[in-house]
Amino acid sequence: MFRLLSKESNIFSIPVYIGFLLLVVIIFNILNFNTYEAIIAGITFLGIALGYFCFNAIALNYQTHLPLFLYTFFIFGLYPGKLDIGIAVALLTNSFLLLLLTSTDEDLRKKSYVLVGAILALNFVFLPTTWPMIFFVMIHLIVTSERIGLNIFRFFLGMSLIALSYFSLMFFMRFNDWNVDYLPFGKMTFTKDYNELFPLIPIVMMLIYAIYDHFSHYNKKSPVSRYKYTFLLVFSFAQLVSIVMYMNTNYEYLLLLAFPVTIILSRMLRFLPKYWMQEVSLWLIIASLIGFKAGTHFNLF
């Protein structure tokens, strides 16, 4: 299967995977279909579907089917069928952020900081526990920008516009009480029962090996590859902070890591020295995701 998935993808590949994704979302939501759930399912579908185009934007997948296949399988294994609207919006905003911040057009990136600030503020409105993403973008902006002060101003201007619009709307709708959910710092709930996460241990071990292997061959990588891989790791760390601090048993938070984990594992599989290692690792990833899906769906653990 690894050799089949290593073939170069074409223009028809992404629509096929998106079609399968749409089928999965419909099947999982058909039994509890109503207007509200349909809106959340639609936002979820858009966010995940945009992820397929992010593979080409970040350009670390070597144009093969492997990352597309793994990403689809990660969504299938981690998607619980019913998402909180905050997670759905976070998936959509993360895809937009990846498309904007990984653009090769430097002029576009400079002009997009107002939009990036607005996207992050909107993300915070729907899911305050994703606040680490604000610091991730700030670090990215400081490290990559030439005119740091101006771009920080643009970034906070975008956030301020959303904040002003939100508070104005709440004032006219007479919602004058402050919602304590927008102060997530005192509501950290660390996971104490890890039994349902045990099937994912092989994937975690492969991720650790993949990161170790990348840095052990760091000097052999191209500057562009090193920059984008580092961007991906910092992005993943920001998501991981939210997961560790706030996930508890809300395992849909793991969907926030589906895209970066897919790229990291795809590169690891590609650079394994033996074909049998690639094939066994691929099937081990699939088995882990199926085991996790079965365990959470049927409460096996």
Predicted pLDDT at 251: 87
Rounded-to-10 torsion of CA 125, 293, 206, 91: -20
pLDDT score recorded for residue 111: 77
Q: What is the pLDDT of residue 231?
A: 85
Check residue 186 and give its pLDDT.
Answer: 61
φ/ψ region of 149 (left if φ > 0, alpha if ψ in -120 to 50, else beta) reads alpha
* Domain parsing of the chain, residue ranges: 2-298
pLDDT at residue 182, rounded to an integer: 67
Q: What is the DSSP string of the chain?
A: -HHHHTSBP-TTHHHHHHHHHHHHHHHHHSTT--HHHHHHHHHHHHHHHHHHHHHHHHT-STTBHHHHHHHHHHHHHH--S---HHHHHHHHHHHHHHHHHT-S-HHHHHHTHHHHHHHHHHHHHH-GGGTHHHHHHHHHHHHH-SSHHHHHHHHHHHHHHHHHHHHHHHHHTT--SPPGGG-GGG--------GGGGGGHHHHHHHHHHHHHHHHTGGGS-HHHHHHHHHHHHHHHHHHHHHHHH-TT-GGGGGGGHHHHHHHHHHHHHH-SSHHHHHHHHHHHHHHHHHHHHHHHHT--
Q: How far apart are CA 228 and CA 136, in angstroms?
A: 14
CA distance 168 to 172: 6
CA distance 254 to 87: 10
Tokens 């090769």 sit on residue: 104
pLDDT of residue 190: 65
- Per-residue pLDDT tens digits of the chain, which is 301 residues long: 767 777 777 666 778 888 888 887 777 776 666 777 788 888 888 998 888 888 877 777 767 788 888 999 899 888 887 788 889 999 999 988 888 887 767 777 777 889 999 999 999 988 888 888 998 888 888 887 778 888 889 999 999 999 899 888 887 877 776 666 667 666 666 666 677 889 999 999 999 999 998 888 888 777 878 888 888 898 999 999 888 888 888 888 999 999 999 999 998 888 888 888 989 999 999 999 999 988 886 666 5
Residue 120 confidence (pLDDT):
93
Any idea how long the chain is? 301
Backbone angles phi, psi at 299, to 5 degrees: 55, 50
Report the pLDDT value the prediction gives residue 121, as an integer from 0 to 100. Answer: 92
